[in-house]
């Protein structure tokens, strides 16, 4: 499954990166590597860009960049426990 196929609120685990060399390097430098849990936060009305959350970081990706990231959909139980508290702080202005 591709990252761009996940719906808002879905979580997944990165299984592989098949993006262009330059894009792949930038994505991996930011810490989005195999085994990383990601959560889709927002998708623009036309599907481009997609905002994701992983490792305490928010990242917006173009749809063609997200098409190069393969994920395995996971349950929301504890895949992104850290996400819940961070999203609440950000949404309600509690961010430090």
CA angle at residue 88 from 46 to 33, to 5 degrees? 60
Full domain range(s) for residue 36? 3-91
DSSP-assigned beta bridge partners for residue 73: 12
Overall domain count for the chain: 1
pLDDT digits 0-9 by tens, 37-77: 999 999 998 878 999 999 889 999 999 898 999 999 998 65
Answer yes or no: is 96 within a domain.
no
Cα 86 to Cα 16: distance, rounded to the nearest angstrom: 26
CATH number of the domain to which 7 belongs:
2.30.30.90
Is 0.75 surpassed by the pTM of this model? no
Residue 26 lies in a domain: yes
Per-residue confidence (pLDDT) for residue 51, from 0 to 100: 94
Mind listing the pLDDT tens digit for each residue in 7-31? Answer: 999 999 999 999 888 888 998 988 8
Asked if residue 61 belongs to a domain, the reply is yes
Residues 6+ apart with CB under 8 A from 21: none
Q: How far is residue 31's CA from residue 28's CA, in Å, rounded to a whole number?
A: 5
The DSSP secondary-structure symbol of 2 reads B
Confidence label for 93 from pLDDT (cuts 50, 70 and 90):
low
Q: Is residue 56 part of a domain?
A: yes
């Amino acid at each position: 499954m591709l990252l761009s196929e996940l719906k808002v609120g879905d979580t997944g685990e990165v299984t592989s990166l098949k993006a262009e060399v330059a894009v792949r390097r930038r994505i991996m430098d930011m810490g989005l590597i195999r085994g990383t849990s990601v959560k889709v936060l927002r998708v623009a009305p036309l599907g481009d860009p997609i905002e994701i959350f992983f490792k305490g970081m928010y990242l917006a990706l173009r749809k063609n960049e997200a098409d190069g990231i393969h994920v395995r959909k996971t349950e929301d139980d504890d895949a992104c426990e850290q996400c819940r508290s961070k999203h609440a702080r950000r949404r309600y202005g509690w961010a430090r």
